[in-house]
Structure 1
Amino acid sequence: MSPLLYLAQRGTAAILALTVAVHLGTILYAVRGGLTAGEILGRTQGNLGFLIFYAVFVLAAAIHAPIGLRSVLREWTGWRGRSLDLAMLALSALLAGLGLRAALAVYLG
């Protein structure tokens, strides 16, 4: 693995550790508080802080996952070269696009 991919993998892992913890904590808070899905959406719609938080979460996952999957595919299948890199780049773009679309849909309502 190249040094840049190594740093990206480790950096996004740190971001994901924090964002997953906050996300799970928020879920626990909402569930224990008895909030309904409608009430949760009411609190998150139009909230720029939530949009930024989930955009960071999505982008970290969209970078982190394809790098890890690339390593697994190289090891298990022997797939190497430009085609693997392009496939992982496409996966990253797909994850980012779908995730950001979902976060924006919650923000806009």
Structure 2
Amino acid sequence: MNWLILISAGLSEVAFAFCLGKAKETTGNDAMYWYAGFLGFLILSMALLVKATNQLPIGTAYAVWTGIGAVGTVLVGIFIFKEPVTFWRVFFITTLIASIIGLKVVSN
């Protein structure tokens, strides 16, 4: 259950980064709504991370949380914000995913 909470925290991190990206593309009230979404997902992400670390080791939980956020944000950048796809970006995203899986495997 704690791993699901941690994954949800990481996905919330991706959501707040997405909101930040959308806020940069808009102006006026639309931007304010995206910033409100950013703040909401930021709070949710932190709350879920705190809950997950009650049972999971902090080092592992934090690394997995940031990894999910980093990979997810890069993928959102590529698929939604049309950022460039290069060999090295895909290579390092793949190694990051392998590292996250490795941390899950070696954790209690």
**Which of 1 and 2 has higher RCO (CA within 8 Å, sep 6+)?**
1
**Is the TM-score greater than 0.5?**
no
TM range (shorter): 0.3 to 0.5
Higher Cα radius of gyration = 1
Q: TM-score, normalised by structure 1?
A: 0.34
